[in-house]
Structure 1
Amino acid sequence: MKPAAVLETALYVTDLAAAETFYGDVLGLERIAKVEGRHVFFRCGQGVVLLFNARATIEPPAPGARLPVPPHGTTGQGHLCFSASADEIEAWKNRLEAAGIAIEADFEWPNGGRSIYIRDPSGNSLEFAEPRIWGL
């Protein structure tokens, strides 16, 4: 047996309100859940992007909690890559630049495929890449 796909990906942010605006308004993701001061979750294709306040998720759940999710979290900059076609990458580049978001890197991989990189408001590295960079 092996896992079939990644269902959810988590990033840890320093400002949930700024993250919610960025991922919802700039990236256009649909918000599906929110707990003030703790997390905001967005649908992305067949998966979910989880944005957590790291300080809130390192606390263990209260005894008898309805959802006994173990503590988790990290600090520092994380990374997430969104799948995009070559045409979509160009459209994303134009949209992001129009929104005042700097493109940190834009290049073709040696084995084929293009990536662009930006930063979210918490400094996480976000990439838009053609799936063929991984032979997909």
Structure 2
Amino acid sequence: MPRLNRIIETALYVDDLERARAFYETKLGLEPLLKTATLFAYDVGGQSVLLLFQRGQSLHTQSSAGGSIPPHDGHGPLHIAFAVEESELAAWDEKLQQLEIAVEGRMDWDRGGRSLYFRDPDGHLLELMTPGIWRTY
């Protein structure tokens, strides 16, 4: 069986791309890779890409000279986790407080990792995760 190596892209669907841009660029410091009328893409640690789609705008096949992308979309609050160093978790906690972003949950995991949970403007649950949570991280 061929092997899957890792997840490259993760997609969230947002109601307002500009509001999402302000949050992810200004508050979380993500660097943009691509901006179109219906999609913003961000580099996450030089290892993965966060895609923000304008909700409802990817419901039809998107075609170009290179091929086509099948329809997709999402509804409701989704969840993603960002990897952070253990030594930077306290700084992230302080930064979120300064930005008046409520930390909704904290977890000390059995394997030794820790997590902070908060929401983006569209209600998606974001997690900052330190190493030690999963066997693979």
Name the CA distance, whole Å, in 2 between partners of 1:51 and 1:57: 11
**Structure 1 residue 5: deviation in Å?**
1.5
Partner residue in 2 for 1:23: 24
Name the CA distance, whole Å, in 1 between partners of 2:83 and 2:57: 29
CA deviation profile, 1:65-122 (whole Å, cap 9, x unmatched): 3341111111111111001122211111111110110001012113321100010010
What is the TM-score normalised by the length of structure 1? 0.91
Q: CA RMSD, aligned part only? A: 1.3
Amino acid at match of 1:120: D
**Uncovered stretches (5+) of structure 2, i.e. residues with no partner:** none
Partner residue in 1 for 2:98: 98
Name the CA distance, whole Å, in 2 between partners of 1:78 and 1:26: 19
Q: Which runs of 4+ in 1 moved over 6 A?
A: none
Partner residue in 1 for 2:56: 55
Name the CA distance, whole Å, in 1 between partners of 2:53 and 2:16: 9
**Uncovered stretches (5+) of structure 1, i.e. residues with no partner:** none
Name the CA distance, whole Å, in 1 between partners of 2:7 and 2:131: 15
**Structure 1 residue 51: deviation in Å?**
0.5
Amino acid at match of 2:117: Y
1:55 aligns to what SS in structure 2?
Answer: coil
1:20 aligns to what SS in structure 2?
Answer: helix
Identity of aligned residues (%): 38
Partner residue in 1 for 2:71: 71
**Structure 1 residue 17: deviation in Å?**
0.6
1:85 paired to 2:85: yes
Amino acid at match of 1:83: A
Residues paired across the two proteins, number? 133
